[in-house]
Amino acid sequence: MGDKTNEVDFIAGFVVGALVGAAAALLLAPQSGEETRILIRDKGIELKERADELSVDARRRAEELQVQAKERAEEFQGKVKQAVEEGKTAAAKTKEELLTKIDQDQATGEAPAEA
């Protein structure tokens, strides 16, 4: 979970840094206002396309992580069910052994042994 947050923070920081850097470069560059407006428009389009690509990549990665989490949850659920069944089997076996021991003790007239 922490890695996912770090990735999102890094991407957000990168995008903000790129925007600030691009704006500073454009505003401080020695060129006419018209040229600056064209550059700002072009860089805006470029950054929008890059943001769209990052969004698609992030969505794809999130879907992959969701599938992996679901697989792990199903695997864990299977292990828990198996452990519960093994516990039930062991409990039933112990119960049968104790009942058999009690029946034997009663048949021989002995008092049941304390557990």
Domain boundaries, the chain: 2-108
For 57, residues 6+ apart whose C-beta sits below 8 A from its C-beta are: none
Classify residue 110 by burial, with Cβ atoms within 10 Å: 0-12, 13-18, 19+.
exposed
Residue 114 has pLDDT above 70, yes or no: no
pLDDT at 2: 58
pLDDT in tens, 16-67: 888 888 777 767 767 777 887 888 889 889 988 988 998 899 999 999 999 9
pLDDT over 80 at 88, yes or no: yes
The rounded distance, in Å, linking the Cα atoms of 66 and 64 is 5
112 in Cβ contact with 102 (< 8 Å)? yes
